[in-house]
Every structure is written in C-alpha cells, then in structure tokens.
Chain A
Amino acid sequence: MGSYVIRRLLGMIPAMLLVSVVAFLFMHLIPGNPAAVRLGPSATTDQIERLTEKMGLNEPIHIQFGRWFARVMQGDLGESIFFQQSVLSVIGSRAETSILLATLGMLVVICVGLPLGVISAVRRNTWIDQASLTVSFLGAGIPDFWLGLLLMLVFAVILGWFPTSGFTSIFAKGGIMNLRYLILPALTLGIPNAALLTRLTRSSMLEVLSLDYVSTAKAKGLPERTVILKHALRNCAIPIITTIAFTLVILMAQAVVTESVFALPGIGRLVISSVLRRDYPVLQGVLLLTAFLYLFVNLLADVAYGLLDPRIRY
C-alpha cells in the first residue's frame, strides 16, 4: 500500500504540470485587462498601458509563464492584482469558509442522503419509497440559486430563525455560534447532492439485496438491521464512497452560487469575482489548488477502497 501511495503521489506531478500550463494559457486567452479594471472606467489608454507594462502583462506569454512557473516551484503563487496581497493569503482567507461550508454540506448529504437511500431500497415500492423518490427528484431538480433564496425568505426574512448572510469567521466575535450563518447555505448546498446520493444508494442497495449471500444471511436468522447495515451496505460502499469523495471537492470548490446568494467569503465566489476582475494570479492559484484537491481526494478514495474491500489489493 505504501509504495502504491508513493507512486500515486509521484504521478500527480505531471498532472499538476499539465494543469498549470492549461490554467495559465486559458486565463490569458480571455480578453480583458486587469490594469483597466484596477484603474476604473475613466482611465486613459495611456495610463492603462503604463500600468499593464508595470505589471509585466505586455510581455510574451511564454515569458510570463516562465516567470510565474519559476515562482510556483518555490511555493509562491504570486500576488493578487486586485487585492495586492499574496495569492496564498487571499485563498487562505477564504479557505475557512469553504472548508466549514463543505463540511456542513457534507453532513447534510450523508445524514439525509444515505439513510433515505437505504430506507428506500429496503422498503422498495412502498409509499416511503415513492415519497423519497419524489423528494429526491425535487431536491436534485431545484436550482440551488432558487432554493437558497427560498430558504432565506422563509427561515431568515419571515421566521427570522437564521441570519440572511454575514458570516465572517468562527474565530471572530460570536465564536462557534457564527456557524448559524452557515446552516441555510449548508442546506442549500447539501439538499441537491443528498438527493443524488439517495438515488445512488438506493440502486446500489437494491442490487446487493438481491444477491444470494443476503438471502443466506436472512435465512440463518440474522436480524434485518444487521443484514442491511453490516452485510448489504458495506458491499455498496465503493460507489457511495466515490460519490461522497467527489461531492466533497464539489462542495468546496464549486459552491459558487450558494456563496454568492449568502454573501459568503468562500473560494467559489473568489473564482467568479477573479474572472470578472481578470485577476490571473488568483485564478491560476485556485485552479492549481483545486486540481490538487481532486487528485488527492481521488487517492484517498482509492486507499479507502482497499481498506473496505479485502479483494482490492494494490
């Protein structure tokens, strides 16, 4: 296992190199000039040109890439054009929100999606199954933008149970209680993904429940709970873990809409605003980190397969 993990980690290097080249090229293919954004709409062409030159954005793209890449190799992702701070600190200041939001969203996904999928499969073709099917179709079909605004309207504006927006940090005034700002966003993020997990868990469980060993387990008199949770569910684990792992990355890096709706200072919103501001260094930094996250989570999922399924050996 150890050598497998090392091989995989080494394999990540060419993938990251490829991502860095593609990220850099694509960013610079988008028309638009960050100098013009920084100086505002009334700046003269001459002033924009001067700032562009000062930022080094008028040099040939391979020279810009070379300079950027040399810095990345030293662990320096450069400086944000818009914030005039290091990219790492810009991303770092957003990371707390994204990690907390993804964790809470994941809790919603697992706590809602998994049990609902198992119950649906076990009580197949009953009203419970039908209801869960309807709810999960609705959950997967509702646009997150609309769901977020709906939750905000009901639970924040009308009932006043939660704030509409305004999360800063759990280390700021209010401490852990500040997590209340993240409950509605976590539901917005979690519900559609929980619906998908419900459907996946249900179909995997149905497949397993029809296998002989489950009938054997039942025949030898094991309680139903043990049959389902210990024998059946464990054998569905591989696709479920794959889904959960990638949902986690999606929740962390792609919560763009939810973060915008609830005005959360997360990485998803940083990406969108950086595109609009043409803040290339931040975009490149986020893309690199996201790619790394994907590869790393993929590795974790593969390791988990091996631990859960004794037939899989690396």
Chain B
Amino acid sequence: MSLLEVRNLRVFYPVRSGVFGRITGCTKAVDDISFTLEPGQSVGLVGESGSGKSTTGRAILGLTHISGGQILFEGEDITRLAGRSRSAYRRGVQMIFQDTYSSLNPRKRVLDIIAEPLRNFERGTPAEERRRVHELLDTVGLDSSCACKYPREFSGGQRQRIGIARAIALRPKLIVADEPVSALDLSVQAQVLNYMQDIRRELGLAYLFISHDLNVVTHMCENIMVMHRARIVEAGSRHDIRHNPGHAYTRELIASIPGINVTGGAICAKHSCTAH
C-alpha cells in the first residue's frame, strides 16, 4: 500500500463578479493530477509560480478545500476522515513552510513552538516535554539553550531549522516541504538541505519537496514531477528528467537554469538561452 495516493485531484477557486458577487467562473489551480508516494520516498514537485504546486501541497495537508478527486493516506480517504482518524492523519503529515518569519509565532519561545504539536497529541509532563524539545533541537543542530529564546533572535537558517524540529516532533511519515530553502542564502541553504537529508535517513521520512529550483530538487529527490498550468506535464526519475526530458516545458525549464556546467572535471560557464 502506498503511503500517499492522490487520485484526480482538482482544486478550483471560484471567480466572483458583479454587484451580487455571483460565481461566474472558476480558476483551475490544480486540474486532475494523480500520483503516489511510497514510504520513505522523496518526490520533488517543480514548476513556476502559479503552476499549482503549493496548492497541491496545501490540499494534501487539508489546508485548502478540494473540488474533486481523492487523497488517500495509507489507504484512507482524508477528505472524508473525521474525529479520531483525522487526528491520526494530522500526526502523520507535517509541513515545512517557506517563510520562516510568518510561520513561527513571534510571541512564543522556541520551547513552546516545538512543544505545541507534542501538547496537542501527547500529554507529557513538562519535564518530558523539555527533554523531547532538547532532543529535537539537537537533531537539527541547535544548542539546547535556544529553547528559551524567541524566534526574532535567530537567523533565517536557524529559524528554518526550528520549523523542521517542529515538523518532526511527532515522528510523521510524510513531510510536505513548500520551498523550504528559497528564502535562504547559498551556504545556509546547504546546511538546511543537509539536515533534511540526515533526518530523512534517520526517521525514514517521505518528502514531498516543492520548489521552483530544479537544482535543489534534483539534489534532494529521486523522483521529480513537473507541474505546468495546474497539471503534471512530466514525471520520472531525476536522471530521466535532467538528461532525457520529454515534455517541451521541461526542456525549457532545464535550458533556463543559469548554470555552471561541470564538464570533464573542469567547471566551465554555460551560455544557454531558452528553447523557443
């Protein structure tokens, strides 16, 4: 059984117009996409802004209303879940957000931020909770003294690692990472990506890694899906996508990556232009 199976997912947003705000049409954010994710697998979702990749991620987490299709998590349709089984699903899926400034509550200490999911699902004593938070901080390479500080006292990379610690607090099976490194500098990005890979290996996580950066996705995921205008236009292994792209849009995307190509051991500058 797959960990996650998405069948014919559709997310449409209504377009309202006129004096009475009647629904006159709809914007198709995600239009009939299907894919599966096995336990421990990491899949990348790339595409340009507005292609529906974030909406897909949000739909899987139940953060947005879906217009049609099914999302099966361990064989159960999450759109129909209620009560206890829904809370079990919420434990199993967590998210890492792009913007570390708006995704961490500025009025809470790091301890409370990371302990919040634990408080929701596991009733532990304060001492247990503190021990668990220190363990989690250690996993993402932060000092345990950070627990009493506020998010504003940290740099972008450290804040993203706090977000990761919160996401892995409940030992989820799937993490949806929506552009986790696009707001970070190159050296900080490297650090966060390395931690994400280590944690995946340690905890056997599956990632749905959403990004516009094909280089980052190729680095992180064995399988890649390319989204364009609300549809998945191509899916395959990272090697196939990079070296043998089938769809015209994928080819354009690869040609657009500004880059330094490594050829024959030496690094040379590549002057590429878009495929017209």
Q: Do A and B come from one complex?
A: no
A-contacting residues of B (Cβ < 8 Å)?
none
